[in-house]
Amino acid sequence: MAQGPWGTLGGVTELTMTIGGDAAPTAATFDVVNPATGSPMAAAPDCTSEQLDAAMESAAKAYRDWRTDEGARRDALRAMADVFDASVDDLAPLLTAEQGKPLRDAKREVRGAALWCRYFADLELPREVIQDDERALVEVVRKPLGVVAAITPWNFPVSLASWKVAPALLAGNTMVLKPSPFTPLSSLRIGELLRGVLPPGVLNVVSGGDQLGAWMTSHPVPRKISFTGSVATGKKVAEAAAPDLKRVTLELGGNDPAILLDDIDPEAVVDRVFAAAFANNGQVCSAIKRVYVPEALYGPVVDALADRARAVRVGDGTEEGVDLGPVNNRPQFERVAELVDDAVRGGARAVTGGAPRPGDGYFFEPTILADVSDGTRIVDEEQFGPALPVIAYRDIDDAVERANATHFGLSGSVWSADPERGAEVAARLECGTAWTNTHLVLQPHQPFGGAKWSGLGVENGPWGLLGFTEIQVLFQARA
């Protein structure tokens, strides 16, 4: 049973929502399940609509002062980074318990949040003079939007929260943050830890079910919705934001292709391909979700990937030496099983895995699927789990066409012994990020977003910061 300053997991935690800088107790709670056991291990506060109103009002009130002092905001972001760094051993066990990922990955995620806060603390808000003559001085400046409603999914609750909180706050906005009901604990704890660091109301953290997210998107106070989650929910968010013309950034699902060119040495690339497909148990928006391999290399690549899958240690994320934890939640676990079954029924071969592991928890054996092609659900849809289809292709045009024949467009990669050749093919991918000889490299200064149905707008870098601002033209007539 995990124990920390936040109380004991295995019963009701003492974690509370943060509204107006204070703890906001709720009468109702909902269960949070530990995916490694499949049993409830904590109860989280269930926010009422009145409490959401209070959170929005406190954010609106805090906005009046917060927007005025850029220096104070930069200092606050640095202090937040220090809190994340100092709280690795506090937050990481919570994250592992609710999400399932190995503890060392959870620690890395918390340290990443510190990195993101430090990066944005130093990022300049652009201020451009576009005309300075006898007629006028014309400047273009960036203003904050107001209250931001931030909604996050269950795969990276800490990092994805930091991708929103750090730039939004630096730009002068205030926020109400809602994590996924599957992983509310780490975000609630972040709210608690930052109570002494941020002025009351600047960051409110609420928890509840999907309905709470819907209340947020239709609430009159927020001027921007920053959403990360599935395509289906992203469309609902866009619809709910439209009548009020709220700004939206949508970071949605992906079905990333990796195309291996005919000059690769399978043994030289499969470690990296495997890692980018199975990181976080495949539950990464921009994980490799389908691999295209030239017919001549098909057998060796499938064998090499299968070797890697067999070597992986799957288990409870709290155990030493575990590479992959459980799938995060029952619906997702059942979806992965359903997509794998569907592929096998259609003639695919599960070279490794192919089934859940018997016993408690949502453990699914790392699965390499061969003899599978486009038109199969696991190739066409986002599986978001530890199962990877490997698809043979005839020539590069064929591979690129099949890689692009999808509504998804988050990212993709091309692998070649000749990086120039690889990069030329990568540039033909219709997606937000096209890597050559790597995949899944995400950095604070690098914009990240999806083409097509994978998103609207970007996060990170100066471009992500601008998404939390509005342009204002300051025109001073001189004649």
Could you give the residue numbers annotated as active site? 251, 285
Tokens linked to 203: 């960051």
Query: Near ligand NAD by CB under 6 A, which window of 85-93, 135-143, 248-256, 304-312?
Result: 248-256
Q: Which residues within the stretch 390-419 sit at the binding site for ligand NAD (CB under 6 A)?
A: 410
Tokens linked to 351: 């070279």
**Does 237 engage in binding with ligand NAD (CB under 6 A)?**
yes
Nearest distance, CB of residue 410 and ligand NAD, angstroms: 6
Binds ligand NAD by CB under 6 A, chosen from 450, 457, 464, 467:
450
**Does 98 engage in binding with ligand NAD (CB under 6 A)?**
no
What is the spatial distance between Cα 401 and Cα 389, in angstroms, rounded to a whole number? 17
φ, ψ at 75 (rounded to 5°) = -60, -40
What is the spatial distance between Cα 358 and Cα 240, in angstroms, rounded to a whole number? 42
Compare residues 293 and 379 and give the one whose CB is closer to ligand NAD. 379
Which residues, 6+ apart, have CB-to-CB distance to 308 below 8 Å? 270, 271, 274
Compare residues 234 and 353 and give the one whose CB is closer to ligand NAD. 234
**Does 304 engage in binding with ligand NAD (CB under 6 A)?**
no
Binds ligand NAD by CB under 6 A, chosen from 382, 387, 396, 422:
382
Per-position b or e across 214-236, b if 16+ CB within 10 A of its CB: ebbbbbebbbbbbbbbebebbeb
257 neighbors 292 (Cβ within 8 angstroms): yes
Compare residues 302 and 410 and give the one whose CB is closer to ligand NAD. 410
Which residues pair with residue 250 across a beta bridge? 227, 456
Compare residues 361 and 450 and give the one whose CB is closer to ligand NAD. 450
**Does 99 engage in binding with ligand NAD (CB under 6 A)?**
no
Shortest CA distance to 300 belongs to which of 351, 345, 348?
A: 351
Amino acid at 60: A
Nearest distance, CB of residue 407 and ligand NAD, angstroms: 12
**Does 288 engage in binding with ligand NAD (CB under 6 A)?**
no
Interaction pattern, residues 107-136, with ligand NAD; x per rule: CB under 6 A: ------------------------------
Binds ligand NAD by CB under 6 A, chosen from 386, 412, 455, 467:
455
**Does 187 engage in binding with ligand NAD (CB under 6 A)?**
no
With CB under 6 A, what is the number of residues at the site for ligand NAD?
Answer: 29
Binds ligand NAD by CB under 6 A, chosen from 384, 393, 415, 468:
384
Binds ligand NAD by CB under 6 A, chosen from 204, 217, 281, 376:
217
Return left, alpha or beta for 289; rule: phi > 0 is left, psi -120 to 50 is alpha, else beta.
Answer: alpha
Amino acid at 99: Q
Which residues, 6+ apart, have CB-to-CB distance to 393 below 8 Å? 259, 292, 293, 294, 295, 399, 402
- To the nearest 10 degrees (0 to 180), the angle between helices 70-86 and 103-121 is 160
Query: Near ligand NAD by CB under 6 A, which window of 83-91, 232-240, 318-326, 350-358?
Result: 232-240
Binds ligand NAD by CB under 6 A, chosen from 229, 294, 366, 447:
229
What is the spatial distance between Cα 328 and Cα 322, in angstroms, rounded to a whole number? 15
What is the spatial distance between Cα 469 and Cα 460, in angstroms, rounded to a whole number? 13
Nearest distance, CB of residue 215 and ligand NAD, angstroms: 8
**Element containing residue 284 per DSSP (H, E):** none
What is the spatial distance between Cα 252 and Cα 409, in angstroms, rounded to a whole number? 10
Q: Which residues within the stretch 314-333 sit at the binding site for ligand NAD (CB under 6 A)?
A: none
Compare residues 17 and 350 and give the one whose CB is closer to ligand NAD. 17
Q: Which residues within the stretch 252-281 sit at the binding site for ligand NAD (CB under 6 A)?
A: 252-254
**Does 56 engage in binding with ligand NAD (CB under 6 A)?**
no
Residues that bind ligand NAD (CB under 6 A): 151-155, 160, 178, 180-181, 210, 213-214, 217, 228-230, 233, 236-237, 251-254, 285, 382, 384, 410, 450, 455
